[in-house]
Amino acid sequence: MAQMEVKKMKQGMSYSCKEKTIILNVFKYFRQQYPDKCVTDLVRRTAKATGCSEKSIFQFRKEEASVEGFKEPSKTKVRKNININSRDIKYDSNVRQSIRDIIYELKYKNIVPSLNTILKQVNADTQLPNFSVMTLRRLLFDMGFFYD
């Protein structure tokens, strides 16, 4: 007979109060069945049975023991610091214009402006920040450059 696999919850998913209760019921069941086992082993067993992470189970136990009980998950996920590392903020018009000038200069010298040649020129310039290949690629795309 083929062994059935427990489907794991996706990371970052929030649990409803009902789901938390069911997971803790499984934990309590294991606690009754194996009273001599330590909590960590029971949590590990519960995680395997439910597809929930061990960390989440410990968190649910803590929530259940608190005065407020289970917290309802928020309907909309609040993203903190949404623009803190945005390329629009981090690299101003001066940086963009310098990169544009480098590309046009390469074209003027009949050098094919590939990502690597642009990256070498940009990173050689002390006035500009050092870029990784992906960051430069994304920034060029944001600036309207694309590959044919």
Q: Please list, in sequence order, all residues whose beta carbon lies within 8 angstroms of the beta carbon of residue 85, skipping any fewer than 6 positions away.
A: none
pLDDT of residue 44: 92
pLDDT of residue 144: 87
Positions in the chain short of pLDDT 50: none
pLDDT of residue 78: 64
pLDDT of residue 84: 58
**What dihedral angle (degrees, nearest 10) is formed by the CA atoms of 128, 130, 134, 137?**
20
pLDDT of residue 103: 92
pLDDT of residue 43: 92
pLDDT of residue 99: 92
